[in-house]
Structure 1
């Protein structure tokens, strides 16, 4: 488990900052509030249960007291028999008398019972029974069945001897039943002759226990709670659910107390049970309610609170996302700009617009990029000057060698008395020297560059005669377009050198034209092609790697080609420069691409051809 937690923490460490901020903010707001809400709800629910657990037993105690008062009043009813001398006289008589006398006595007692108990007594009295010397006198409010002395384990013809002043007989202890099966108890009391202290018999008063309802209805909470009265064996005397009357509460013996409240589980439901024991009768009044009903109102508040909490969570999440976006967005922009700088694009400007830590970081980054650009520009200028110095050094190296060969050819022509040739060569050589030394501009008209190359090739043509030939083709108005100085001569010199080394007639073809460039623009392309021995595949790959490398780097080989390529790339970008196509015995073609550089005219371009 710990390994999984550590693994998840390690993964979380690698999450995006925005995700971390959102998760952290939500956890720091949702979890504490959820925990506090849960604790508050639990404590409030517990407090309600404790208060109900203390309050209900007090109500039960009061209800028991009211029931006891009712029973005390009912216990007084048997004494009403002493108010009638006729009834007492009948009860004193012996049972062995004539049939007519027995009927007369029965009428006398039954009439008194009806007047006093049924019609003039409590409305809860269902019936009155008097057992005296093998005689039964009775009067009931509703029809009944199965009443007799055998119910009390006595032989018919004998009086019932009670050990106490009165006792209660529950419905399950007698076969007596009233029409409609109302719940009742029998109050039994011994009748004693007050004059001679002899037993007159026993009176049994059947009392409908629905008088409990008047006492405990207020506690039933509209059917949400169960209330019942049971004796010491757990036999239910009265229950708000009539079907449970006369049943036994099987859990009564396991109840931890008979005065107070406790929580238990019945039928997979948590219930709060409150009890109060009545010492006078030995009965226990019980109250049972589902724990969920106690917190029903609280649950409504809880549900409303949960709804508000969910809205709060949604709002917190939105706020956390906005805050995370506000923090991470500048950082993401900074990261994006850093990646551009990493790829070599220093033309960036990171505008955050804040003065916090991220804004300070962005300002410092902008300062760093500006300083780097200045350093690159300074280094670039240094390297460019170095390349210019190398160019002049190259010119110094090329010009004396070429001049030596040209002067030697002129000398030979003088010896052969070829005045026209001498004049032409001297003229061409002088013009070349003026172009090389006299013009210090970095950009020259393409026409001047082509004329300089043409002068060079014409001198070579005079030197090698039939072994050498060349052609120049212009497809633009070369006088209106400009090019860096000396981009053609080093390439042409290489072509002449390698062409003549092949040992056959060397032909040099030079062309200049406009070609399509990037993004729909046009570019100027110089093409120099020879029919020499060509370049080996390995050598060509080495040259191309040299050209593709840093244009500022020093070169130990292919100096002329790389010098021209570096100058173009440094001035116009890496999209311009040299491209070489060659194969063994297939000659070599060098293409030079530069951007369109025009003079101030707006006259457009026209194709020209010149051989």
Structure 2
């Protein structure tokens, strides 16, 4: 008995055609596309996160290398050395010393480092200075005997939701060369690494930092601070940098790590695959269902996938552009770091070496000039916009004039100032030096004369203090003196008319402009007299009104 093959109906043929030639290839292609897209995104995520972690480590290293150089000579400052040797029981002298450090030293540190959050200093004798919170954070390190490294990152703490890096700089007694104390700085981690400007795949909250013992110093989850890095991670972190896939009950995630050669800290980036893939799983399921049900919905889903691909391409393109921008910024930062290596501390150290050789050679004039020059540098590199007592400015001028006296044998300088006025009168740094330089050049050298007599005197008036600089050289004609005084008067507190300057030099003009803009009229410069017998120039400064 023969069985006849049953003919399929047109409807069945259409269904079979749809299943064989559309649904099956569609499902296969969709699955392959999903797998390849996921693989590509994972590869890009690994590449860009490795580059990003490397950049964070580079930025971290550059910053702390710069801080190591900038703070290298800080423990040798006289105020610091006096702090670590003072008896803490002598409360009055300790209080005065703290006031001097807070006034003369701490502002210069904070001015150069905008990332500074806190500052704490202590001595082995028990003296303490600075933020109590920073001292509390560094207590475990101070209680330990680990003081071999002079410069070290000692930990990361969280303050009001903001992570800060604790950096320790040891202080050694310059007489006994023994450990005498430490300076602990607290810097904002977010400002150093600029985490909010992330170009990595995944969110910046997934960045963690571990120390040499594989304990989390910083983690987005505050509960993990101080906890050990999972053993499954440490067994996979075999090299200085790399990546691996971590499979947990919550899902898979890509872990990228890189260890710093300078700080020995390890940057870790955790990128859950769900963040990378996004809605791909739901899209795959919806595509399968829609493809099986109707061709129209499958077509719509296909269009949706094309739009999704376009969006991902734009995301990758944008990320690459940001990556290029990050590379340019990093190069610029490296260039600035190289420039910053030539800093005043190099000059201080060089002058100290010269002074040491001069002392050994018993060349007292060279030693004195070296010390005076170092004091001038230290005074000059401070904030030029800060107002200082007249005592500090006169101290700087004395150093400057002693050096000039070595050059000009006939130079004689007389300073006549009331001791009480030195602390009452305030002015900007480097106010007197340009005026004295101007007097030596224009009154003497320009006219072929050897610099001779100079005097600096102070006269107290009802509403101001007159600081007078007088020379015995050749002055200017009355017409030029009048033009100078008219130009000085043209400056107001709100405006500096550049066209009013009647002379090519800018030294006197800059000094007068700073005083007039800061203190207003009638303060600033005024030429009292000038002629063949010399010039008397007056610096008008504010003077506090004394009650009768």
Tell whether the structures are fold-level matches, with TM greater than 0.5: no
TM class, shorter-length: 0.3 to 0.5
TM-score (normalizing by structure 1):
0.41
Specify the structure having the higher radius of gyration (Cα).
1
TM-score (normalizing by structure 2):
0.45
